[in-house]
């Protein structure tokens, strides 16, 4: 194993905290991983990793070497891509919200993989907090304002939202024209994955955002269940318009209070500084931004 491959291997072990996980990620035998690290430590004359029955952790020397390796490996990949004209290759791990993936990402994915045949994509749907380094994820796609974080975020789209209900629900409760007419109405309680609490309804009136929580007979944690509950007449929901375009066309949901829309939702791709210069991540994020632009109204 040459020095650069050994550095790539060492970086992956530190990030995944596991020899076995690193071997799977890099598609190399477990025996080669062990031998490669032993050779690396012997060449450097330092112990880089502490092994326990549960986990692998870098030593102090290992932490220092890890930081240097990140920069070196990124520079090499960047240089190779620039001078050779070679297309990015390797495993790209992406975590996305399932609804976004199905609507915006999956339809165009065959063409992306045809353009970059050397990239292998692993798509997960955690939807909540993901530790990109520990979980071995290259980037995540998320909706909403960014939390304070060490991650780098690139905004690739903005989703317009609306307030929706089923015709049956509106027949029973009436069609509100003003916010004051929401008395007596019900909402479907959509629970935040972050706070564990119901997310309030949000309305923009006279340039100001107002929030309110209505009584709820049902509370949900999933986007699909949220829309399904609205179709069944359980109450009002607020979702991006793309999510219910087919329901609106079919008449199973109706948009109300158009003059008082919720705030639009930003869509970000998040990645760590160590992945910022990765050719695989860069071409994927650029492609994903184009996919969103092509599918959203201008």
pLDDT at 10 over 70: yes
* Residue among 283, 190, 202, 298 at smallest CA distance from 235: 190
pLDDT at 83 over 70: no
DSSP H helical segments within 117-250, as ranges? 132-135, 167-173, 223-231, 245-250
> What are the C-alpha distances in Å from 208 to residues 112, 204, 263, 264, 265?
41, 5, 10, 13, 16
Could you give the number of structural domains in the chain? 3
pLDDT score at 234:
97
Q: What share of the chain is helix, strand, coil (3-state, %, to 5)?
A: 45, 25, 30
One domain for residues 166 and 253 = yes
Burial class (CB in 10 A: 0-12, 13-18, 19+), 235: buried
CATH code of the domain containing 59: 1.10.10.10
One domain for residues 288 and 248 = no
Reported as a single tens digit per residue, the pLDDT across 231-284 is 999 999 999 999 999 999 999 999 999 999 999 999 998 887 666 557 888 899
- Of residues 174 and 132, more confidence is placed in 174
Reported as a single tens digit per residue, the pLDDT across 115-154 is 998 888 888 887 666 677 666 778 888 888 776 566 778 8
As a whole number of angstroms, the distance between CA 284 and CA 96 comes to: 13
One domain for residues 257 and 270 = no
One domain for residues 250 and 273 = no
One domain for residues 152 and 270 = yes
One domain for residues 151 and 270 = yes
Across 1-5, 64-68, 105-109, the highest mean pLDDT is recorded for 105-109
One domain for residues 257 and 212 = yes
What is the average pLDDT across 92-100? 85
Q: What is the 3-state secondary structure (H, E, C) of 2-52?
A: CHHHHHHHHHHHHHHCCHHHHHHHHCCCHHHHHHHHHHHHHHHCCCCEEEC
DSSP H helical segments within the chain, as ranges? 3-16, 19-26, 30-44, 60-84, 98-100, 109-115, 132-135, 167-173, 223-231, 245-250, 279-295
pTM of the entire predicted model: 0.71
Long-range contacts of the stretch 46-54 (C-beta < 8 A, 24+):
48/10, 49/13, 49/14
Q: DSSP character for 236?
A: B
DSSP helix/strand/coil, 280: helix
One domain for residues 133 and 224 = no
As a whole number of angstroms, the distance between CA 76 and CA 288 comes to: 25
pLDDT at 79 over 80: no
Look-up of token digits 């999933």: 222
Six-digit token string for 26 = 């890099």
One domain for residues 98 and 151 = yes
pLDDT score at 192:
86
- Of residues 245 and 196, more confidence is placed in 245
Reported as a single tens digit per residue, the pLDDT across 12-48 is 888 788 888 888 888 888 888 889 999 999 999 999 9
- The fraction of the chain above a pLDDT of 70, given in percent, is 90
**What is the extent of the structural domain holding 65?**
3-84
One domain for residues 112 and 46 = no
Please provide the average confidence, as pLDDT, over all residues in the chain: 87
Question: Domain boundary residue among 51, 84, 117?
Answer: 84
In angstroms, how far is CA 84 from the centroid of its own chain?
31
């Amino acid at each position: 194993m040459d020095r650069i491959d050994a550095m790539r291997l060492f970086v992956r072990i530190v990030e995944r905290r596991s020899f076995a996980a690193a071997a799977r990620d890099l598609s190399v035998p477990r025996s080669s991983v062990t031998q490669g690290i032993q050779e690396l430590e012997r060449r450097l004359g330092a112990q880089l990793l502490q092994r326990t029955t549960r986990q692998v952790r870098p030593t102090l020397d290992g932490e220092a070497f890890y930081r240097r390796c990140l920069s070196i490996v990124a520079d090499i990949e960047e240089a190779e891509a620039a001078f050779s004209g070679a297309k990015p290759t390797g495993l790209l791990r992406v975590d996305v919200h399932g609804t976004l993936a199905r609507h915006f990402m999956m339809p165009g994915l065959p063409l992306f993989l045809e353009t970059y045949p050397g990239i292998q994509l692993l798509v997960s749907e955690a939807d909540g907090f993901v530790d990109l380094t520990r979980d071995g994820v290259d980037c995540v796609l998320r909706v909403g304002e960014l939390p304070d974080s060490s991650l780098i975020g690139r905004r690739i789209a903005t989703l317009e939202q609306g307030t929706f209900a089923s015709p049956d629900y509106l027949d029973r409760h009436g069609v509100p024209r003003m916010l004051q007419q929401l008395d007596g109405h019900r909402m479907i309680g959509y629970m935040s994955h972050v706070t564990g609490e119901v997310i309030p309804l949000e309305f923009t009136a006279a340039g100001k955002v107002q929030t309110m929580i209505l009584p709820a007979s049902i509370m949900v944690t999933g986007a699909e269940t949220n829309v399904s509950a609205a179709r069944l007449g359980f109450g009002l929901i607020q979702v991006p318009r793309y999510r219910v375009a087919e329901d609106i066309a079919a008449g199973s949901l109706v948009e109300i209070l158009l003059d008082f829309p919720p705030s639009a939702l930003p869509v970000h791709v998040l990645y760590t500084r160590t992945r910022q210069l990765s050719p695989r991540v860069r071409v994927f994020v650029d492609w994903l931004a184009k996919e969103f632009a092509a599918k959203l109204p201008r």
